[in-house]
């Protein structure tokens, strides 16, 4: 079963978001999951071999770069720092 992680992005006023949710295309429903520690938009998200997701970089505002990374654990529904 494929589920899609939607994490971060930009709000209506250009503010970066830390929220995350899971989309199930079969039922066409969203369910909340753990928020990222830092708000970020325009970041890269990479599915790791173990099923976790790495979110790296992006911006915390439309003009300020984010130089950090977090890892999402779908089994726990939580984010943790990927280190400095």
With b meaning 16 or more CB within 10 Å and e meaning fewer, what string describes 51-83?
Answer: ebbebbebbbeeeeebebbbbbeeeeebbeeee
Which two structure tokens, joined as six digits, stand for 80?
Answer: 């943790």
Predicted local distance difference test score (pLDDT) of residue 62: 63
Percentage of the chain surpassing pLDDT 70? Answer: 96
3-state DSSP percent of the chain in helix, strand and coil, to 5: 0, 45, 55
Contact status, residue 3 vs residue 26, Cβ threshold 8 Å: no
Under the banding of pLDDT at 50, 70 and 90, the label for residue 67 is confident
Predicted local distance difference test score (pLDDT) of residue 19: 96
Under the banding of pLDDT at 50, 70 and 90, the label for residue 8 is very high
Average pLDDT, the chain: 92
| Residue 63 clears pLDDT 80, i.e. is over it | no
Contact status, residue 20 vs residue 72, Cβ threshold 8 Å: yes
Predicted local distance difference test score (pLDDT) of residue 1: 67
């Amino acid at each position: 079963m494929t589920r899609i992680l939607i994490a971060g992005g930009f709000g209506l006023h250009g503010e970066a978001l830390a929220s995350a949710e899971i989309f199930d295309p079969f039922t066409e429903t969203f369910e909340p999951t753990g928020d990222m520690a830092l708000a970020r938009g325009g970041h890269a998200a990479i599915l790791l071999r173990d099923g976790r997701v790495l979110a790296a970089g992006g911006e915390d505002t439309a003009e300020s770069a984010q130089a950090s990374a977090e890892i999402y654990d779908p089994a726990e529904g939580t984010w943790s720092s990927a280190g400095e």
